[in-house]
Structure 1
Amino acid sequence: MILKVFLLLLGSAMVYGNAPSSETTEVSVTTGSCTLPYVKVGSRCLLFFVSESGPWSDMEFLCQSAGGHLAIVDDANLLGDIVDFIAANDLSPTLYWLGATDEAVEGNWKWVDGSSVKLGTPFWLPCTHEPNGGTLQNCLAITVSSSYYFTDDTCTKSMTPICE
């Protein structure tokens, strides 16, 4: 909701503002303890690029261009907070990339910071024994069809990034 209000205000400023000048002023706006466009979700500052989607590597690059990386969701409470945020802001149904892959070594899931991804419950979809995609599905996602549990998917699939 905060992000939607910000975007509405930003859009109003763009419509009613003065013509662009050659000078640039950097402004930091905070939401909670996060700098916009990031919003506080649980204990983290996250950015949901709802208007962007693409392959995992492109979305990691997009997050880096926004000063972050694909989100590291290493806590079950944070995963629950993300799901609640998606529902409260009517962002679903969407497919979301998170910041983990096993492309380097099959079955050895690592977050973008190099730390290990916890396997099993409560993170991974238990009924299909995720991760189960073998060498074809090497990037971590959460989707409405997986009830927002972790699932491995094809890295070239187009999904929306969650950045931090």
Structure 2
Amino acid sequence: MGLIAVVQGFKLSVAKFDNFLMVNGLNPTEGYRLFPHEAADVAKLFRAKGVDCEVRVFVPYATGFNNSQYLFVCCDWIFVLAAREIEGELQKPVPPAFEGLRRSLQAESGVSRYVVYDEDMSWTPEELIRRNTAPIQCGVCDTVCSLWEDRMRHRCDEHGISEDQNPLPDC
């Protein structure tokens, strides 16, 4: 399963990015997503090059197709689970060092906003983390539950509230 992200950054060929990595002693991506330890190494490299913001690399993914020939190097992003309002998102100014990185890598694009379908599955919406972290309040009475399922069962049995057991978060 993939993950949808709205990102602010620049588009770069995999070949240029891989060349940059190899010149700096890191393994090439060959168009595959970065594993967490690889992403940490790339982040260290960007910091060593003077980039003073968090940077993430997104590799587009589509089942049944060859690996992407391009990727996105981004300075800001939000993830989308099912639907999300994006008004007012990705409004941070582009750091000068990030723009310098874009020029040094000879990116094919300026810094822009993109929607990317990425195969990274490591993101869990904050709302789901909070939802499943005890103590979980009933919301109608003072009852506290340790599991989301217990909360939903309590609300149905005690308050007659019939609601989806696993509602989509608002993100």
After TM superposition, the score normalised by the length of structure 1 is 0.24
Q: Which has the larger radius of gyration?
A: 2
